[in-house]
Amino acid sequence: MEKYSTMGFLPDVLLGDFAGDIWAQIKVSLVVPFLRILMYVNLVMSVMLFTEIVWMSIAVAINKLFGKKPEQRYKWEPFKDDVELGTSVYPLVLVQVPMFNEKEVYQLSIRAACGLSWPSDRIVVQVLDDSTDPLIKGMVEMECQSWASKGANIHYQVRDNRKGYKAGALKEGLKHDYAKRCEYVVIFDADFQPEPDFLAQTIPFLHHNPELGLVQGRWKFVNSNDCLMTRIEEMSLNYHFKVEQEYGSITFAFFGFNGTAGVWRMAALDEAGGWKDRTTVEDMDLAVRASLKGWKFLYIGSLMVKNELPSLFKAYRYQQHRWSCGPANLFRKMISEIMRNNRVTWWKKLYVLYSFFFVRKIVAHIVTFTLYCVVFPATALIPEVMIPRWALIYIPVIITLLNAVRTPRSFYLVVFWVLFENVMSLHRTKATFVGLFETQRVNEWVVTEKHGDASKVKAATQQSQSRFKLGERIFMVELCMGIVLFGCACYDVAYGKYHYYIYLYLQSIAFITTGCGYVGIQVPS
């Protein structure tokens, strides 16, 4: 009883009797009802997300145990040289490599594209260089000339502006006569290094199955061991590829194109309306439009393409803003178009609108931040609102395990994954609302910084740590959020009813550590 009395008189001690009475009235009439409504909204969203994740995980597990492999679901036969026809049995393929000031990785990507195993007269490599640095432009052009001298059919293309960013470059690249003659187009971002047999593994699916418009490969991360942040990124993306993409492919033959490591049928791309730059997720935009035209997609989880994870926290923030803002903005722009579409079933339209967009691209971001970083600490201050145990423990634990089990080698990092994902949910939630309401940063596009050779980055990092000043690495939003949560934890220790302080202290430390710039590697600008 003494503890509850202390809680009741705390406002009086801090504010005085008169102010304490006013606060008590405001709390009863406004704060508590608002917090309770916010909690119920978050509980509904939490159940929606939980149901989605469990259902997808079960479907993928059943398919893995009893389902058919891609080559059993679709016709697949390797191409064979014909004595009479020669290499003409192989379709003409365009390989597009878009890049922007990619000093560290341009050689890797061009080498990988030119090293693809396909008849040299049936493949065209197109390097789309939007670089603004004349020195880097010169190096990329020289690399292209070097490969051309070795017999590669490679074209170096530049624009006089960056209109439309990557989508604009890809669209411009398809206007050339040699590109129009190609039957298929494959896209590799500048840090992607496909294996030589990538085309041999993918093109036969498209060639023998006219209903397929896209074949997508999986990403394999070459620098996942750089730091704790890259390990956590790997855990999140492995769930995306092993569950979300796999589920979409096996159930609806639809998923979001990842923008790279995928092969498009040129006819599907053209029928969908080509590349559009109306959002920062031009790849997802194209995929949705092509699906609404009736084209089917195939995801091959066993086909892995090497690439690089963002290892700088600032770069990761920019990437996550784009990946969260773009889908929300695309949902806003396409919701009526999807509902009016007559070429796909209502069941598929429901999947795209509810599951693909609303739950995964909007609800997942918002509920992670508002429930665990707003409602949770708020109820520590206002014990009149109590979160049910199933929402506090059972649902989060099951969701966490279903995510973490996709990366067994990092399972022991699951606590760090939860805390860091909650930190990033702050930016993802903000970006989601930016996309939904089309505010100022809706079309912000910052190219993710890449470093190529991880060993060089680590060496530079170790040599330059002493040159960093604290003011150069502070992230004020995270730092302020961490301080607020730390205050809530201290209050819960002194006056709390539900003993949330253990979680609140850990989460506040995660925010403060991130806010002070001690996440990811540190490379001086």
Residues labelled as active-site residues: 130, 283
184-187 and 262-265 strand pairing: antiparallel
For residue 92, what are its two tokens?
């003409």
**135 CB burial (10 A radius; 0-12, 13-18, 19+):** exposed
Structure-derived torsion over alpha carbons of residues 394, 243, 414, 405, reported in degrees to the nearest 10: 90
> Left, alpha or beta for 367 (phi > 0: left; psi -120 to 50: alpha)?
alpha
Which string of DSSP letters, residue by residue, matches 26-83?
HIIIIIHHHHHHHHHHHHHHHHHHHHHHHHHHHHHHHHHHHSPPHHHHS-------BT
Nearest to 247 by CA among 485, 13, 57, 29: 57
Q: Can you give 206-258 as a three-state secondary structure string? A: HHHCCCEEEEEEEEEECCCCCCHHHHHHHHHHHHHHHHHHHHHHHHCCCCCCC
CA distance 469 to 474: 9
Interior/surface letters 211-230, b for 16+ CB within 10 angstroms, e for the rest: ebbbbbbbbbbbbbebbbbb
Cα–Cα distance list, 396 to 151, 168, 340, 404, 418 (Å):
56, 41, 36, 12, 9
Which secondary-structure segment (H or E) carries 189?
Answer: none
Amino acid at 413: L
CB 376 within 8 A of CB 387: yes
DSSP 8-class letter at 479: H
For residue 493, what are its two tokens?
């220790």
Interior/surface letters 106-122, b for 16+ CB within 10 angstroms, e for the rest: bebbbebbbebebeeeb
Give just the sign of the alpha carbon dihedral 83, 86, 87, 88. Answer: negative
Reduce the DSSP state of residue 183 to 3 states and report it: coil
CA distance 47 to 75: 39
For residue 281, what are its two tokens?
């997720």
